Amino acid sequence: MSLGLIVKTGRILTARLLMGEPIDGITHCAIGDGDATFIDPLNPPAPDIDQTALKTERARKKHYKRTFLKEDSEGTLVVNGIHYIETAEETQTIGVFFRFEESEANGITIREYGFFGGDVAYIDGLQSDYAANGVYHPDTNPSGEVLTSGYLYEVKNIPDFNKTSDTRVELVGVIKI
């Protein structure tokens, strides 16, 4: 299975951060159910480097933690088969943690996820770190709660994960510089 792909807008976000622009790094994770090309649940299509959004975003959540990570064979955080521990030491590896609570992603078939940064904003009046129904558009998606999607940094299509019961979803973005 392929790893996530850092897309062009993710590279622009990185360049803007390196230039010292006042912009947020990775702050949000979005989950969605993919598109019509995803027909084999065990064989996800490759992500597209030109993507700027998920194919079908269903929910988005702000991170609850960002921290430095260090590889450690005894570490309990395992991402793509590599064990990590959190550390106060500045390292070249960053972990960005996201948690969708039981009710927030219930009933969604999760086939794609993406990490976003920059100028992410929700519609006026939304009071939590969670937004449902994707990006707002007055005609095509009036129920969307994401007003400004920000920069898509990394996207990944994953094997079918049909979340039909109340189960919390945890995702960790590991960025190695």
Give per-residue pLDDT as tens, 134-170. Answer: 999 999 999 999 999 999 999 998 876 666 556 678 8
Amino acid identity, position 169:
V
Nearest to 91 by CA among 125, 68, 67: 68
Q: How confident is the model at residue 1 (pLDDT cuts 50, 70, 90)?
A: very low
98: three-class secondary structure by DSSP: strand
Domain that includes residue 26, residue range: 5-176
Question: Residue 2: which pLDDT band, with cuts at 50, 70 and 90?
Answer: low
Q: Say how many domains are in the chain.
A: 1
Distance CA 121, CA 60 (A): 11
Residue 70 identity: K
Taking the whole predicted model, whether its pTM rises above 0.75 is answered as: yes
Give the HSE-up count for residue 26: Cα atoms under 13 Å, Cβ half-sphere: 26
